[in-house]
């Protein structure tokens, strides 16, 4: 799903969408733990913690080799949709919505012996939306994104977080995740077409849509000033179902760690 507000290229939000297209990793609602808002910020249509970090994770889904590259942080505390009004208000109880972006790096047969005979997979970017429900110290969410480029499937994630405010400046959250994907995505990264099977000397492997992996993520955010926040996130995933049985899978388990800094912006786009 893509949003019409990207038409104002010179706006902070427009720049965000352009930058997300250059990112080489997932950009989801997992990274930061939202801080509270000032009275002035509560009067703005958009409040977003936007920044950059570095993530270390497998070079492609199922890879054993890890790589480090830039990570875009974009955490909305307030989000306005014309005709709907405010659809996100920090971590208040109740239903909320937010945009979700992601990407998957390119993959080549030379990246690992298991990929011998496979076709090159181009860089893919993903655009979509998430929906969550907050109740006290808990948040449950589900998000869906449509892929473009390297894959044209639909990917999703569901999770539940428990949150703690250790001090006025230090926040922590942790919870389980389940990732799922459509057949197009699964076949792109975990399947073997007949031509690829012939080139690699293996049997063709067709992958259906469904659960891709499950795992746990933990995040912490620390406010350095009234605008700057430092974030750290770590996660573990295990591939499951058809993805877990793929002959292209080098490692059943996937680990990641990310850290970065964000700056808080608050602004209006609509009258």
Q: Which fold has domain 4-267?
A: Outer membrane phospholipase (ompla); Chain C (2.40.230)
Give Cβ neighbours of residue 205 (< 8 Å, ≥ 6 apart): 190, 191, 192, 197, 246, 247, 248
Find the angle CA(256)-CA(211)-CA(237) to the nearest 5 degrees: 20
20: enclosing H helix or E strand: helix 12-20
Task: Encode the chain (271 residues) as per-residue pLDDT tens digits.
Answer: 333 222 233 333 333 333 333 333 344 446 668 888 889 999 999 999 999 999 898 888 888 888 888 878 888 889 888 888 888 877 678 888 888 888 888 889 988 888 889 999 998 989 999 999 999 999 999 999 999 999 999 999 999 999 999 999 999 999 999 999 999 999 999 999 999 999 988 899 999 999 999 999 999 999 999 999 999 999 999 999 999 999 999 889 999 999 999 999 999 999 8
Ordered by start, the domain boundaries in the chain are 4-267
Strand partners, 81: 85
Residue 21 is encoded by which pair of tokens? 């297209």
Q: What is the dihedral of CA 212, 214, 215, 221, to 10 degrees?
A: 70
If you write DSSP's letter for every residue of 168-224 in order, what string do you get?
SSEEEEEEEEEEEE-HHHHHHHH-B-HHHHHHHTS--B---SEEEEEEEEEEEEEES
Rounded to whole angstroms, the Cα distance separating 240 from 54 reads: 27
- Classify each residue of 257-269 as buried b or exposed e, where b means 16 or more C-beta atoms within 10 Å of its C-beta: ebbbebebbbeeb
Please give the sequence-ordered ranges of beta strands (E in DSSP) within the chain, or none if there are none.
46-58, 66-81, 85-89, 94-104, 124-135, 138-149, 154-165, 170-181, 210-223, 228-239, 253-267
């Amino acid at each position: 799903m893509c949003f019409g507000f990207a038409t104002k290229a010179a706006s902070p939000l427009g720049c965000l969408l352009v930058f997300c297209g250059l990112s080489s990793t997932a950009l989801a609602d997992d990274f930061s733990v939202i801080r509270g808002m000032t009275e002035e910020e509560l009067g703005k249509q958009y409040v977003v913690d936007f920044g950059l970090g570095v993530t270390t994770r497998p070079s492609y889904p199922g890879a054993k080799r890890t790589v480090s590259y830039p990570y875009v942080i974009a955490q909305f505390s307030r989000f306005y949709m014309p005709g709907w009004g405010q659809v996100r208000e920090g971590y208040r109880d109740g239903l909320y919505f937010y945009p979700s972006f992601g990407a998957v790096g390119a993959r080549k047969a030379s990246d690992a012996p298991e990929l011998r005979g496979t076709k090159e997979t181009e860089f893919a970017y993903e655009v979509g939306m998430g929906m969550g429900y907050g109740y006290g110290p808990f948040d449950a969410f589900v998000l869906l994104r449509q892929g473009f480029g390297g894959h044209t499937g639909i990917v999703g994630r569901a999770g539940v977080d428990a949150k703690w405010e250790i001090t006025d400046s230090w926040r922590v959250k942790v919870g389980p995740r389940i990732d799922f994907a459509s057949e197009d995505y699964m076949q792109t990264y975990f399947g073997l077409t007949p031509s690829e099977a012939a080139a690699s000397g293996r049997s063709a492997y067709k992958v259906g849509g469904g659960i891709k992996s499950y795992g746990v993520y933990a995040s912490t955010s620390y406010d350095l000033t009234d605008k700057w926040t430092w974030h750290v996130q770590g996660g573990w995933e295990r591939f499951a179902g058809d993805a877990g049985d793929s002959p292209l899978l080098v490692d059943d388990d996937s680990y990641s760690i990310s850290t970065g800094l964000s700056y808080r912006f608050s602004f209006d786009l609509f009258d």
